[in-house]
Amino acid sequence: MQRYIEKARKTFWSTDEKDFRGLLDDGLGFAFAYFLGIFLIGFVLNLIVMTLSSGGNLAAAILMGAFVFVSYAVGPGIILPAATFILLFIMAKKPSIDEVFQMYFYGATPSMLMSWVPCIGVFTPLVSFGNVFRGIREIKKLSFFETLIAVLVPALIYWGFWMFFIVGVITAAGGA
C-alpha cells in the first residue's frame, strides 16, 4: 500500500521532471494494477456524486459512469499511450512500450482521483496531461517540440473525436 501512496504522491502534482524517474522501477504489471486501483476509486466517487446530483437516478448515474469509464480509462489507458508509442517509433526515438504505458498510467492520477470534484474536476485532465508530457520528455530525453508531437497530437485527436461524438449525441437527442 505504501508503494501505491508514494506513486500517487509523486504524480499528483509534480513540478519536477526528476520525480518521474523512480516511477518505472516496479514494472508494467504494478503500474497497471495502480491504474486500475485509482480508476476504481475515482469511478466509485464519480458514481456517488452523479447519483446524488441526478436526484437518486441510479440509471442516469450508471450511464454517466460508462461515459467516464470510456473517456478516463480506455483513452488514457490504451488509446493515447499506443498512439504516443507509434509516434515515438515513427520519430525513431526507440520507445519502450512499457515506459510509455507506465507514464500514462501514473500520469492519469489527478484525473482519476479528482474528476468528481465540482468546478475543479474538469481541469484535472490538464494536470494529468502535464504529468504525461513531463514524464515522457524526461524518460525519453526528448525536446519540447518532439514531446509536443508525441503527446499533444494524440490527445487533441482523441478529445476532438469525443467532442464530435458528444455533439452528435446531443444533436440526435434534440432532434428526436
CA dihedral of 30, 89, 108, 5, whole degrees rounded to 10: 30
Per-residue pLDDT of the chain (176 residues; tens, 9 = 90+): 777 777 777 777 666 666 666 777 888 899 899 998 888 888 888 778 777 777 767 777 777 777 776 777 788 888 999 999 999 999 988 888 999 999 899 888 888 888 777 778 778 888 888 888 888 888 888 999 999 999 999 989 888 887 887 777 777 766 55
Residue that the C-alpha cell 508494467 belongs to: 28
124-140 vs 80-90: helix crossing angle, rounded to 10: 30
**Residues 34, 39, 42, 47: what is their CA dihedral angle, to the nearest 10 degrees?**
-150
CB 64 within 8 A of CB 142: no
Hey, what's the cell of 66?
Answer: 460508462
pLDDT for the residue numbered 14: 61
Q: Where are the domains of the chain?
A: 2-11+25-175
Q: Cβ of 62: how many Cβ atoms within 10 Å?
A: 12
Q: What is the pTM of this model?
A: 0.82
pLDDT at residue 174, as a whole number: 67
pLDDT for the residue 150: 93
Residue 19 burial (C-beta neighbours within 10 Å; 0-12, 13-18, 19+)? middle
